[in-house]
Structure 1
Amino acid sequence: MTRTDDHQMSELDTGTDGVAPGVLDKALLGGAPQRVGRFEYRYDTDTWTWSAAVARMHGYDEHVEPTTELILRHKHPDDLGMVKALLKRSSAPFSSRHRIRTVSGEIRSVVVVGEIVTDDAGEVIATRGFYIDVTKSVSDEVQHELGAKLNAVVADRAVIEQAKGMLMATYDVDADAAFEILRWRSQELNIKLHDIAKELVTTLPSLLSCSRGPVDHFLMTLVAD
């Protein structure tokens, strides 16, 4: 079992939208843990993979291999029962907000979104998705810089803000975490952040009128034209 890579190239090299990092990128990436990362859990083998970002959320470096025992050991005691219930094999996507305890003892809040993986016979064999670190982890000074510099890295602030608002409502996260989700998908797909936001704004309203499951699935499978 091996970890997954967050991106083909380091975000410190590519910056936002695949261009050289600017002030905002450096503020977001300069030392604070990445706020979005991938995971996969296989029911058939009881094995995990996680990206370097998820490892860092738990306080590990990228070489630590996760296990069910390790994952559960880091859950907050008050949230452990809920997380164990989510690990049971299910045919439905899920999303959860809970707390983890890092190696150093710090308590962090995360949102975990997962969708099912099936084999050729349609049997559920795994769940995969992403962690969002929603802990208040940036200083007031950096937050001020986020607002002041946002126009320098997006083509159209209005559509970005609209997409952020939809994600905030869907996943109950703050504005910074919602922006991280958009930025993460932009870098993974090598598509302009503005184009990702525009696609979300066009498509999400019809999904938000029903259950959250279709929203989770759309976000995980989004590919712009």
Structure 2
Amino acid sequence: MNPTPEPTPMPLHADLEEVLAGGARPPVGRYRLDLATGDWVWSDEVFAMHGFEPGGIVPTTPLMLSHKHPDDRSRVDGILRRAAETGLPFSSVHRIIDATGKTRTLAVTGQGRRDQATGQLVELFGYFIDVTDVQRDAAAREASASIRASAENRSVIEQAKGVVMVIQGVDEDEAFALLRQTSNRANIAVRDIAATLVHMFSGPNVTEVPTREAINTFLADPTAPGDH
């Protein structure tokens, strides 16, 4: 094989941009694929990503595809086939099951190289990036944000229920039922109904407590123009 030139910048798949957005530096390895022979050349990092000792196996396309997650295998195969036909830069994020049975998430970027004399596409080259930990950290952040948002939603709904209980003279279950009925009728989320209701009592421009009539009017039609 001829020496591989330094890769030019490759466009990133949207999923790849997302998983790398946190600024982490995941493990990166290089590869080359000879399109005439089907032989792969992996750097030590790519062997490790697949759960092998460097040089421990002979990397081939069938072997590589056998390690792809079953749900991602056909998609990755299609990406490789198109890249081998066009040589255009590509990037993708997919899962693999390494030699130890561990599921990893890898990003791959690549492009083709053509023979300067014939113009024939002769190889693909690029990078594998192990983004398993990056995605795990992102998932943890999303889960934490979801928990915080859920707690905030519960808090404002509890406040709104208290408002309805006092104004309407009903118990907690009846107050929530009224909020839910308003939500269903107006096709507006309960948390948004609750937030507006609480704002009517505690917003920065509130100078007097809303009347029972004003609350009833809002619950009857929260989309109608008003001071809320």
Question: Under a length normalisation based on structure 2, what TM-score does the superposition of the two structures give?
Answer: 0.45
Higher relative contact order (CA 8 A, sep 6+): 1
Q: TM-score normalised to the size of structure 1?
A: 0.45
**Which of 1 and 2 has greater Rg?**
2
